[in-house]
Amino acid sequence: MLFELAPFSNLLVLAIPFSFIVFLVRFIRQAAFRKTGPKIPPGPPGSDHAKYLQADRWNVFKAWNEKYVLGTMEGAIDLLEKAGETFSSRPDFVMGAKASPVAKPMQENESAVLIKDLLENKAEDGILDRKHSILRRYMASTMFQMAYGRRVTSMEDALVMEHDEVEEFIIRVPGRFFLESAQVTLTALRKPLQWFSWEPERRRDTNTRLYMSVLNDVKKRIEEGTQVPCTTQWALERQKELGFNDLELSYALSSPWAAGIGTVTTAIEIAILAILHHPEAYEKVNEEMDKVVGRDRMPTFADQQNLPYLEAFIKETMRWRLVTPTVIAHSSIQDYTYKGMFIPKGTAIYPNGTMMMRDPAVFPDGDAFKPERFLNISDPRLQTYKFGVFGFGRRICPGMYVALQSLYIGMARMLWAFKVVPVIENGKPYIPDADDFSYGLVSYPASLKYRLVARSEKHRGIAIGEAELAEERMAGLPRSH
């Protein structure tokens, strides 16, 4: 974890003279506090602060881990869970857990269509990479069904393209704006001088237009009597009780799908990357699948409890390469002392998820890919998914249960139906670099390329038949336009 006791370090690169003066005042105050105040956690030398501005700051955190950054599971549990009231100023959110059973029929239907789409992939030589939107359509349609009661049949639809633009901005913000931690200092500038807020404000307008349009669309269908049950309808019926105006409600309802589309898609891509590097794990998944499910039907949610190796494989995938390496920031709402170190109120805390997933006290040989580490275990945290991949304490991802269901059913059916094989380049199998990842809040395998080949004609036929049945079941749903 990185403790940002005062955000002056991020101001080192400012070009505006007045901003430098503000920085200097903050620096002097901080230096005085360090000399006269209680002992606070150490920070990197002044020349190293600029490294925090790098987009790949989790690699910087790795270098700082032993001396400056708290990157152990013990520290995360002590601060973010046991002291959660201090470091997580957000109430518990149980909607995700309550909504997850309702989502299962939607996820089974959309995952069946996903397999059909992958079978009919028209990419050149069948090669799939980040540019292909088949996986994203699966997640977009699932999340839009839950939120608004409508399907997404193409990622080229205007609404989804606008969402993608918003999501791309959100996941790129960490590392792009060195002011992300300067929460107070520069707000003293007059509005026209707050250049750092211009792009976020423009994007906020885009967000508002997008979120309000889908909210109003549901309102219209409710008035017409054509709306199918969904989260938005549920919330509108309880809007007064919830105490939200339309704008607040539109943003609250957007959170699960705005966050879930890219993250679950990335988790599936990381699983494919793991298979390319560790085909022996993939073979074990298939052996278990053939034994439990067989070859005469696709896996369902009813099979999940009988597929422990698949469950372990998914957990290890999420631990091996985190979708969100620096996890979501926490903030202390009051002064706190931890192991003799004083943490002032208002301190921003960034959990160093990557290092926690390699904490030798919890994950021996953490650089290795070993699904077996999640089999026959007694640690209750590792028996569930509450070991850090979805965050900690009250700021654990509220959509965790829905995301896990989409990940399970999508992965189970893909691995039941397909062989994952490398692309051939220059006469040799191409294995993507396991460490070549994008930088930002969400980190995806940047050089991933692969092919999916049907395991047999029987698998192909069953998958096509399941998809046709799923399309029939969803025929009455509105489609994005």
Binding-site residues for heme sit at 397
Contact 420, 450 (CB under 8 A): yes
Contact 409, 301 (CB under 8 A): yes
Residues present in the chain in total: 481
Q: In what order do the strands lie in the sheet with 449-454?
A: 127-129, 449-454, 418-421
Q: How far is CA 27 from CA 46, 48, 50, 166, 189, in A?
A: 11, 15, 15, 35, 17
Single-letter amino acid, residue 467: A
CA dist., res. 377 & res. 361, Å (int)? 14
Single-letter amino acid, residue 468: E
Contact 419, 452 (CB under 8 A): yes
CA dist., res. 344 & res. 338, Å (int)? 11
Q: What are phi and psi of 338, to 5 degrees?
A: -130, 120
Q: What is the DSSP string of 243-283?
A: T--HHHHHHHHHHHHHHHHHHHHHHHHHHHHHHHH-HHHHH
Q: Cβ atoms within 10 A of the Cβ of 46, count?
A: 10
Strands (E), 362-412: none
Helices of type H across 71-157:
73-76, 84-87, 95-119, 134-148
CA dist., res. 367 & res. 374, Å (int)? 15
Could you tell me if residue 388 is left (phi over 0), alpha (psi between -120 and 50 degrees) or otherwise beta?
left
Q: How far does CA 369 lie from the centroid of its chain? A: 20
Contact 264, 406 (CB under 8 A): yes
Could you tell me if residue 346 is left (phi over 0), alpha (psi between -120 and 50 degrees) or otherwise beta?
left
Binding residues, by number, are: 397
